[in-house]
């Protein structure tokens, strides 16, 4: 399944858990795995706390302090090398497990699309693989 989202800031973590749950419900899968993939080089996917929004802010602020947009060692003319580095650090794919028809996800875990060079129109894909016991 393919999903489109719109980001609104240069850096932003957007909760996409509901899209993944929807894919799983549609597939009617009982046991298997889920792969989520984003086809961008200045974005990423991650799983982190979904309760206190200050965690998202601390993650983004910390990344910006350590990997600033303006950095005298960067040579890439587009000026977004920081976003490329963040993308490789967090990764562009996620693995999840489905068991007894339920996505295994911790109480405090949300699934996030990570925008590092927005605002833009972005995509991600969800593929569900059934366990063929």
Which residues sit at the interface with its own copies, rule CB under 8 A?
31-33, 35, 37, 39-41, 46-49, 52, 54-55, 57-59, 61-63, 65-67, 71, 73-78, 81, 84-85, 87-97, 99, 104-109, 125, 127-133
What kind and span of H or E run contains 35? strand 32-37
Least CB distance from residue 6 to its own copies, whole Å? Answer: 17
Least CB distance from residue 8 to its own copies, whole Å? Answer: 21
Least CB distance from residue 13 to its own copies, whole Å? Answer: 9
Q: Which is nearest to 46 in space by CA: 108, 95, 6?
A: 95
* Pairwise CA distance, residues 14 & 55, whole Å: 13
* Pairwise CA distance, residues 64 & 116, whole Å: 10
Residue 98, preceding peptide bond in cis (omega within 30° of 0): no
- Which CB sits closer to its own copies, 10 or 34? 34
């Amino acid at each position: 399944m393919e999903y489109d989202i719109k980001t609104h800031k240069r850096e932003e973590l957007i909760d996409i858990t509901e899209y993944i749950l929807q894919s799983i419900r549609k597939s009617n899968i009982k046991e298997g795995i889920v792969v989520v993939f984003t086809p961008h080089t200045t974005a990423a996917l991650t799983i982190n706390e979904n309760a206190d929004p200050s965690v998202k802010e601390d993650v983004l602020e910390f990344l910006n302090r350590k990997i600033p947009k303006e950095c005298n060692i960067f040579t890439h003319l587009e000026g977004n090398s920081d976003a490329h580095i963040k993308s490789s650090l967090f990764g562009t794919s996620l693995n999840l497990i489905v068991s007894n028809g339920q996505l295994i996800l911790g109480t405090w875990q949300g699934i996030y699309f990570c925008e590092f060079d927005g605002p833009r129109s972005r995509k991600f894909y969800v593929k569900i693989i059934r366990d063929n016991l």
